[in-house]
Structures are given as C-alpha cells and as structure tokens.
Amino acid sequence: MSGSVGIVKTHYVDLFHEGTPLSLDSGASLEPVRVAYETYGQLNASRSNAILICHALSGNAHAAGKHHADDKKSGWWDSYIGPGKPFDTERYFIICSNNLAGCNGTTGPSSINPATGKPYGLRFPMITLADMVRVQKSLIDHLAIPRLMAVAGGSMGGMMALQWALDYPDCVASSVIIGSTLRLSAQNIAFNAVARQAIMMDPHFNNGDHYEGEKPKNGLALARMMAHITYLSEQGLHEKFGRRLQNRSTFSYGFEADFAIESYLHHQGSSFVDRFDANTYLYITKAMDYFDPFPDPETTARRLKPVQARFLVMSFDTDWRFDTSRSKEMVKILHWNEKNVSFQEISSPHGHDTFLIDTPIFRQSLASFLQRVYLEESGS
C-alpha cells in the first residue's frame, strides 16, 4: 500500500545574510537568499536518511502532499513520494527546495532587491546550476545534515544531482539522474533561445520590469507551448490526440483551433503563466544552456576523481529532448572514470515527461536503488 504525505507546508529560511553573500560563478554576489523548502518524513537519529530532490525548470518546492485539504492537485512528484512509495517517507527524510532564481519562494528576479526596494527584474545576477546547488548545500547545512543519502532529479534536476556529486563529494552517497544530459545540444539551446525570444518580444516584457501592470503573458505562454511539445513524444501525442478535431465534426476553415492538440497546447500555455514568472524562465534556461561539467577528458577526470557517490542513471526510450544516447554517454564517462554506476532505459510512450508520470517500472527501479543505498549507508 502506498499513501499520501497528507497536508504539508512550505518553510522559508534566509541564508547568505549578514555580510556573508552568496558568491556566484559569474563573479557577482547576492545577499540575502531566501530559500523555500518542504520536507516529508522524519530525519533519523544518525541523520543518515536524508534525500534531496531537485526540481526541473518549471517545478517548485512543493513536491508532495497538499497545502490545503481542498487543493485539487498534489505536489509535482506526489506519485513517487509518500509512505510505501519509492521516496518512502516512512523510511527516508525527503527535502525539496525551490531553486535559486525561482519564482515560488526562493530568491529570484521577482524578489525585492534590498538595494532598491523594487523587484530585481533583469538586475538579478545570472546564475548557474552550480550556484543553485551551492544554495541547496547551504540549506542542507542549515538543517545540520552532514551527508545526503541521495540527491535525485529528472531533467534539469538530474543535472543538479550530478553537480552535487561533483561539488560536494563527501556529502553525497548517491546521485539519481533521470532523463537528463551532460550538456544541452545545439538543438536544445536553439529551443531555449526561441523561448527566450518569445518572452522578450512580448510588448509587456519591458526589459524585465513587469511586476506592476501587465505581464508578458503571451510570450511566456508561447515559450511554454513550444517547450511542451519537446516534453512529449511524437508517439504519445499521436496516441493522445492524433488528428482528432476539438468539439467539431468538420474543419472550421478559419483560424480557431480545429484540432484537439491545438486546444491542449493553448491550455498548457495559458495555465502556466498564472503560476510562473517570465524572468525566472529566462534565467533558468540560460543556466541550463551553460551547464557543461565535462567539457574535456582532463577536466572530467579531475572533477570525478574525488567523487564517492554511486550513480543511478535512467532514460526513457521515447524522450527526444534528452534521448537515451545522452544517458549512455554519461554512463560511459562515469564507467571510464571508475565510478559505481547503474543504468536503465525505461520504455514509455510519454517522452521526456515520463519522470513526472506514474510509471511502474520506473517506480520499482527507483525504490530498489534507494533501498540498497539506505541499507549500505545504515551499515556503514
């Protein structure tokens, strides 16, 4: 039986304050940094059962449960977090924090810049995934957790799980990297560039200062619609929508949405803008573009040398955003550098977004891996 974590609340903590700013890869610094996070389950006496979950581009700290009993939806990874679920809250202590530059409680471009008393907008410094991980490490220190049993994430969250293993080798027992990649390809960067262009050409973008008055909703919706196509597989779209018409039996011969897929995408776009900040979209896509921890064999070897984490790498056979070959390359490099790595390709029609969807084989593999790490960590 697997259940729900029930009603949860988001916590907030101010880090990097009182003259100890966060130093960023760009050379800039930032203070203070507020972090929004949630936890599920109980930290054990030896503080050895903590798992950090890293969310993807559009995620947030609310990974499981509900904030209010009448919430329609549970947290974004509720299928995988809870009693008896892979991230078993009867055994593990689960932490999920909103990423730096986010828009759901952690400091980002929509936060008030203490120097001006107004939202940062594009005055927010550019950040990298390593910066985002640095903030998470500060949160883990604040929670007095010396070592994470696992860091896990899908897509960008998987990149962060890798970054954790590289940057804090003594603090990560395992790294679970799902539907992810070592770096964005030219095609991935191209889609991000078009998404940013869509936002920045919106007449309400106002060079990032859109927190009063109209927001660049059309541009952000467009960016989301396009990105959403890349999250789903051709096959999945075919099975779900095909060429089915939307509430009509014949073509409109006009510019309404004739096909169900069109209506679906418009809905995806318009619902996204109510919960997401256009500037956060710009910063996070740029951070993803920059991610490239293994640019050459020498750097790779140097970075991997101290790494102790064991790795679980998983891919989905219909994911064309970060296809299986990306995961295989990651596995090869980890192998060649004598790391402990397991790899599994999961068959699913749902493409990149499979990691968000309840998928039995994926559940089982995740659960088994975590259980093994837990036993090893408990015995050590």
Residues that bind a second copy (CB under 8 A): 26-28, 122, 125-126, 183-187, 189-191, 193-194, 196-198, 200-203, 218-219, 221-222, 225-226, 229, 232, 234, 237-238, 240-243, 251, 253-255, 257-259, 261-262, 265-266, 269, 282, 286, 289-290, 292, 320
Matching residue, tokens 């018409």:
245
Cβ(321)–Cβ(56) below 8 Å: no
From the list 78, 319, 323, 353, the catalytic residue is: 319
Is the CB of 295 or the CB of 306 nearer to a second copy? 295
Parallel, antiparallel, or unpaired for β 118-119 and 112-113? antiparallel
Cβ(77)–Cβ(63) below 8 Å: yes
CA pair distance 168, 170, nearest whole angstrom: 6
Active site residue 155: yes
Identity of the residue numbered 89: T
Is the CB of 66 or the CB of 183 nearer to a second copy? 183
From the list 155, 175, 180, 365, the catalytic residue is: 155
DSSP code string of 187-239: HHHHHHHHHHHHHHTSTT-GGG--SSS---HHHHHHHHHHHHHHHS-HHHHHH
From the list 111, 348, 352, 365, the catalytic residue is: 352
The first and second tokens of residue 2, run together, are 């697997």
The first and second tokens of residue 104, run together, are 């759901």
Instruction: From residue 94, give the alpha-carbon distance in Å to each of 74, 107, 152.
Output: 16, 21, 10
Q: Is the four-CA dihedral 367, 372, 378, 380 of positive or negative sign?
A: negative
CB of 372 to a second copy, least distance (A): 35
Active site residue 352: yes
Supply the Cα-derived Rg of the chain in whole angstroms: 21
Is the CB of 234 or the CB of 376 nearer to a second copy? 234
Is the CB of 68 or the CB of 244 nearer to a second copy? 244
Is the CB of 289 or the CB of 377 nearer to a second copy? 289
Is the CB of 228 or the CB of 339 nearer to a second copy? 228
CB of 219 to a second copy, least distance (A): 8
Cβ(35)–Cβ(143) below 8 Å: no
Q: What is the DSSP letter of 268?
A: H
Q: For residue 279, what is the enclosing H or E element? A: helix 278-290
Cβ(125)–Cβ(28) below 8 Å: yes
Residue 259 φ then ψ, to 5°: -100, 150
Work out the angle between the directed axes of helices 217-231 and 186-200 (0-180°, nearest 10): 160
Is the CB of 48 or the CB of 58 nearer to a second copy? 58
101: left (phi over 0), alpha (psi -120 to 50) or beta: left
CA pair distance 245, 258, nearest whole angstrom: 6
Active site residue 238: no
Q: Which residues are catalytic?
A: 155, 319, 352
